Amino acid sequence: MQSISIFIFLLIFIFCLIATFTFIYYLYRIRKYNETIEEDIDDDITANVIEKFFNYKKKKKRKF
């Protein structure tokens, strides 16, 4: 009887370990994915500012 309870305890313990590491892994992946999205947004904002600046300079040249 005692060996069965130890076996059940070990099964539950291993399951909890697997669940914990899986949870940590998915949190890491979500954080990494969010960082790449933020970098893409920053790159898009920079590209838009540069594009607007050059379009403004072109329009300014045409007036003169």
CA angle 3, 11, 7 (to 5 degrees): 5
Per-residue pLDDT, 62: 59
pLDDT of the residue at 59: 64
pLDDT in tens, the chain (64 residues): 788 999 999 999 999 999 999 999 888 888 777 766 666 666 666 677 777 777 766 666 655 5
C-alpha dist (Å) from residue 10 to 2, 21, 23, 24, 46: 12, 17, 20, 21, 54
Q: In a 3-state reduction of DSSP, which class is residue 64?
A: coil
In this prediction, residue 10 carries a pLDDT of 96
Note the pLDDT of residue 23. 92
